Structure 1
Amino acid sequence: MAAAPIESPGQQADQADIQPKKLPKGVVLGPDGKPCRSCTSVSSWFAMAKSQTSKDSTAKSPNTTFAAGALTGAATGTSTASTTLGLPESYPSDCPPDVEQLGRAGWTLLHSITASYPVTPSPQLQSETTSFLHTFAKLYPCWWCGKDFQKWMTKEVPRVSSRDEFGKWMCEAHNAVNEKLGKDKFDCERWEERWRTGWRDGRCG
């Protein structure tokens, strides 16, 4: 949910014997020092697979390679290989999500929660909601995204005293990430149209 580092801080030296000496741009390591699928984009993951596969000059069949085992559409019985390395033309829909898919799903969930939040929540629900946000950030599969969200919440404490405040706070959190990624910011005054009521022109039904 933020701009990715190339590797996990402090892990390169400790894990040098078990990880690639050079990682493709955008590949992120997990806490175990190994490439993190949910922290990395599909294109970067494919680049790593291609690099690893091309080095395996003894491979006779794509089914014995990293790329084919993890990335081709073999499970569905379809052939998606686009090169002699066995790499797919597109990412199969039944594969684990990459960092971008995970981010879109995560924001959809969070914004939808704000849309269904009570207009005037009880003190208990406000406390539970704040706890949920911190737990969500800790459990988020992309570790660096989660840490970035935790860091942002230390500066911008969750505003959960009403639906409107919560919705705008979440929109601001999303905009903070969009800014890091070089994307346009969303007008947070229109958050309800986007996530709760639908656009005023009626195109959402």
Structure 2
Amino acid sequence: MLTTPKDQYVARQADRAHQCAFQASAAANNIALLTNSVVTLVERSTIVAPEEAEEIAKVASTALTLCAAVAVSQARITAWMTQIQRHLWLQQAAVTEPARKVLLDAPISSDGLFGPQFLAMVESMKAASEQAEDIRQHVSWLQPAGKPQRLQQQQQQPTQPQRKTDRHAQQPRRQSCPSAAAGGTVPRLQGTVPRLRPPTREGGARRE
């Protein structure tokens, strides 16, 4: 189903124009049949003069030509409305540009919006996908066995900057002692410190 209200509105208007084109084609076909019947009656009539019958035949021929032109124009309108419907649906699908162009210009038929071309393309894409899968399975054994291990070792091996950061992380940080000039407290030494006696004078010692 179309998601946006704008696309839904365009689809409804295209559907209405498509129906009107079919109705106009049917009316032109009926006019052509009636004109042909008039020509047949004039040819079989014995009352109408040959000159008048000839003029009526010319007018009827012109009317048939106009009916054919109207039918062709209405057929083109229906084809364009169908392409509008296809465009609205294709812009929501994830298809490539070549596939989109093929589906957009596919012959119009009664087998759905895209006709038999859609089913043919689906079968072709399915066959291509299966063939690609078979090729992938047959080629997988060509890959060397050591290559994944080598890639795994390269992924596990740390780089040079990482090694440096690991070494710095392993070394313990040295505790820096704050200096007295910076306003820090000097740590006290544990234990008793021996006191030094002041030097005595010799003279005083002798006097004593």
Common fold, TM-score beyond 0.5?
no
Determine which structure has the larger helix proportion and give its number: 2
TM-score (norm 1): 0.28
- Higher relative contact order, chain-length normalized (CA < 8 Å, sep 6+): 1
TM-score (norm 2): 0.28
